[in-house]
Every structure is written in C-alpha cells, then in structure tokens.
Amino acid sequence: MAEIVAGIGVPHSPHYPSQIPKDAAHPTAKLYREVKSHLDAARADAIILIANDHFNTFFLNNFPTFAIGVTEASFGPNDQTKMPSYDVRVPFSLAAHVRTVGVEQGFDFTVTEEFGLDHAMMVPLHYLTDGVTTPVVPIWVNTFVKPLPKAKRCYALGKMLRTAIDSLPEKVRVVVIGSGSFSLEIGGPKIEPGKRNSVPDIEWSKHIHRRLQRAQIDELVEEATPERMWQAGNIGGELLSWIVMLGAIDKAKPHYIADHDDKDGHAYAVWRRD
C-alpha cells in the first residue's frame, strides 16, 4: 500500500545554485544538506512537489489556480536560472491517480502533458536529490496572481493528496515537498531602496515559524488570508504551497525545523510519518 512518509518545506531562491555550491560551508547549503539527510532516510520512491510558477510554464492567458503535470518525463529549469539542467522523470500512473481522485473530490485540476519546470521546483530538487533521479509529480498553486486560493482550500488539497496516496494499491513511499517563502517582495513598492527584492514582514515570517514549531496548523490556516499574505509581499502567497504540504501530513510538530532566518525569513522543516 502506498503511503506518505514525509513532508518537507524549503525555499527556492533562483540565485542559490550559482552562488552556493551544494557542498559549501555556507549556512544555506548546510540547511539544504540537513533536510536532504531526512529525505534520503525516507527512501522515497516518488516526490510530489508543490510550488508556484513564475510565468515560465504558464502565463496570464492560461494561469490556473491548481495544475498537475501528467506525463512520463519533463525537464528543468525552463527559465534563466543559472544551474545544471536536469531531465525529470514523472511517475505517470501516480500523477494520473492523483488527478482522478482530485476530480472525484472536487478539485478540477488544469492538466498539462508537455511542460518544463522553473526554479521553484528545480532549486529544491537540485539541493535535495542526487541528480533528480527520484520521479516527481509536479503540482502548481497560484500564489501571486489575484485572486489567490483560500488557505483552507489549499489545506483541503493537501488532505486530498493523502487520500489519493492512501488509496493507491501499489507499495510506494511518497514524500511531499512544499516550496516557497513566507515574506518576499519582488519588483513592487515594498522593496527597500537600492535592493532588487525585500522582506517586508519579517515578524509574520517569525510568527509562521512559531506556528509550525508548535504544530498550530489550524490557527495558521485561519490566519493565512489573502490580505494577510499580501501584507508580507507580492510573493507572500508562497506560504500556500507549504499549507498544501501540511494538509498531506498529520498535524504534528516537525521532526526538524531550522532556527528562524531573521535576514531573509526563509524556513527549512521536515515532518516524518514513518
């Protein structure tokens, strides 16, 4: 029987791969390596990766709220991120099963069969896997084009993922990864003078971090309104990718969570279910 064995949350800055080698002594590289050790221990047969797209796979003429890739192979990155190029295997039967269960439960996914993956997915895979050899089911969530989906709906999507995996008869160990930041502004009015991006609401990021540490997931979902996330920056909605991941695992304190990053507000955390 299939099972979700772990949930993981990490950031996905496109600048990391060109600036921070995976084996570097840099704190960011060390954090990714710590999370990777848990992913390695989980012995995943497949990864479900939740992230947003930055107008590279989709654009405003077709920008879905929720989308899933159902195919056998993809590639990435498909943007200008300076990092190695990877071929990505997609487990077709698992992706198709998730899509079917999602439709049965009222989640009308946009489905794509030909696509590339941008840095939101490829940066975590670059740091957390050895050559992206584990098959990946990509699920995209709209996290920065109004109107954003409700946090409760994203949490329910995560619960649906758990139902889908639990109902799969094959023996498959699945890890769910949520990718994104909690407070970030890019190209908007909240950027500090002389910077290309900014973290406009570090206190909100700290608050989310405390909620995760204490397993106060219901409270976090209630608080993560579109209005509150917009206050944290025009990329603050990336919290929704984490909330999908949280819906797919049990409400529990994380097995590992890094100290809060008071500079960039990024978070690294692992929930183990095995």
pTM for the full predicted model? 0.97
Query: What is the per-residue pLDDT for 269?
Result: 98
Q: How many CB atoms are located within 10 Å of the residue 147 CB?
A: 8
Distinct helix (H) and strand (E) counts, the chain: 9, 12
Identify the three-state secondary structure at position 76. Answer: strand
Pairing between β-strand 86-89 and β-strand 73-76 as defined by DSSP bridges: antiparallel
Enter the tokens of residue 123. 């940066």
Cβ neighbors of 226 (< 8 A, separation 6 or more) are 146, 147, 148, 150, 237
- Mean pLDDT over all residues of the chain? 96
Task: List the end-to-end C-alpha distance of the chain, in Å, as a whole number.
Answer: 14
pLDDT truncated to tens, each residue of the chain (274 aa)? 899 999 999 999 999 999 999 999 999 999 999 999 999 999 999 999 999 999 999 999 999 999 999 999 999 999 999 999 999 999 999 999 999 999 999 999 999 999 999 999 999 999 999 999 999 999 999 999 999 999 999 999 999 999 999 999 999 999 999 999 999 998 888 887 778 888 989 999 999 999 999 999 999 999 999 999 999 999 999 999 999 999 999 889 999 999 999 989 999 999 998 7
Of 3.40.830.10, 3.30.420.40, 3.40.50.720, 3.10.450.50, the CATH number of 3-272 is 3.40.830.10
Residue 43, phi-psi category: left (phi > 0), alpha (psi -120 to 50), beta (remainder): left
Residue 8 CA to residue 199 CA, distance in Å, equals 22
Alpha-carbon separation of residue 230 from 13, 106, 208, 218 (angstroms): 19, 27, 15, 20
Pairing between β-strand 197-198 and β-strand 185-186 as defined by DSSP bridges: antiparallel
Closest listed residue to residue 54, CA positions, set 186, 171, 200? 186
Residue 89 CA to residue 228 CA, distance in Å, equals 37
